[in-house]
Amino acid sequence: MQYSYSLKRREKKGIYHTAFLLVALLFASCSSGEPSEPIARAYEAYLYPEDLEQIVNEGSSPIDSQHLVDAYIDQWQRQQVLLHHAQQNVKLDIVQINKQMEEYKNSLVIYELEQAIIREKLDTVVTEQEISQYYTENETIFLLKRPIFKASYLELEPDAPERANLREWLLSDHPDDRERLQRYAERYSRNFSLSDTSWYYIEELAKKIPIAQIDENNYRNYGQIFNITENNKIYLIILHDSKFKDNRSPLAIERNNIRNLIINRRKIALINKEEQELINKARNQNKIEVYHQ
């Protein structure tokens, strides 16, 4: 046991020492500006400490630094080996590769321009009127793929008190009864929802209550209390509304989706407008032209 402990200490000390040397070498080479010795090689390619500037942070622990350096060197060498093998064994169209690289670089640069335009000029305020109008004008795209429900429910222990009163409160619209129901739920139920305005997809409800035990023929029995026992828990469930596959999805569920669709449409319109203005400006200043042969 003593030998094993000493060996672990030496190994740990070695890791700290190696990481310290690498980090020190890195920052020394960066500060001096002088050429440094390579830290790894793959065929005729070399890796230098300054190549790790973005890999090792000055505040990193020695062990973390060592892991990052080792992982980077391993990945770099793998890449260099594969590149060497490709260059030696694969017929490469260098002209086409360079063309693709240039196109990719250009796409990245233009993407950054578009993101800058969006950050500076995009209007992200969407009014309720705009959402309602979009919903009305595009009703065919908002069709349900699975059932949804409005429901109230409580999960109770078998010995929960005042069960008779509870059923009366659940079916009542009187403010006093609703207040009693709320206090009861807060005291005796760990899992409840007394709102009858929120829509739930069936799989969302299935995570909260055993809705699968309600027969599909009863899905439209609104206002009925379903008393279900499962896993030594009692569930009181009331369905208030339901919609099924291929019915129109309610606006309440689609509101955020519609907002995102409107903003995305604005993004496209804004980018097209700004790009066309830049092209028109360049054309008016004779910065672009077509030579007819």
pLDDT digits (tens, 9 = 90+) for 77-105: 999 999 999 989 988 888 999 999 999 99
Q: Sign of the C-alpha dihedral, residues 82, 85, 90, 92?
A: positive
The predicted-structure confidence for 143-179, as pLDDT tens digits, reads as follows 999 899 999 999 999 999 888 888 889 989 899 999 9
- Axis crossing angle, helix 94-121 with helix 251-284, rounded to the nearest 10: 110
Mean of the per-residue pLDDT values for the chain?
Answer: 86
Helix (H/G/I), strand (E/B), else coil: 40: strand
Confidence at 21, pLDDT banded by 50, 70, 90: low
Q: Which domains does the chain have, with CATH numbers?
A: 2-89 (no CATH), 144-243 (3.10.50)
3-state secondary structure of 214: coil
In angstroms, the CA 68 to CA 65 distance is 5
Distance between CA atoms of residues 155 and 151, nearest Å: 13
The answer to whether residue 43 scores a pLDDT higher than 90 is: yes
Using a pLDDT cut of 70, give the percent of the chain over it: 86
Q: How far apart are CA 59 and CA 37, in angstroms?
A: 23
Angle at which helix 251-284 crosses helix 128-137, to 10 degrees, equals 100
Long-range contacts formed by 201-207: CB under 8 A, 24+ apart:
201/146, 201/147, 201/148, 202/146, 202/147, 202/148, 202/149, 203/146, 205/149, 205/151
Is the predicted pLDDT of residue 124 greater than 60, yes or no?
yes
Q: What is the distance between the alpha carbons of residues 212 and 202, in angstroms, rounded to a whole number? A: 9
Taking the C-alpha atoms of residue 35 and residue 188, their distance in angstroms, rounded to an integer, is 73
DSSP assignment of 232-248 equals: TEEEEEEEEEEE-TTSB
For 28, the enclosing helix (H) or strand (E) is: helix 2-32
For the ranges 22-26, 185-189, 237-241, the lowest mean pLDDT is seen at 22-26
pLDDT band at residue 61 using 50, 70 and 90 as cut-offs: confident
Which pLDDT score is estimated for 22?
Answer: 56
Q: Which residue has the higher pLDDT, 35 or 15?
A: 35
Which residues lie across from 199 on neighbouring strands?
150
Instruction: Give exposure, 263-281, as e/b (b: 16+ Cβ within 10 Å).
Output: eeebeeebbeebeeeeeee
Cβ pair 242, 220 in contact under 8 A = yes
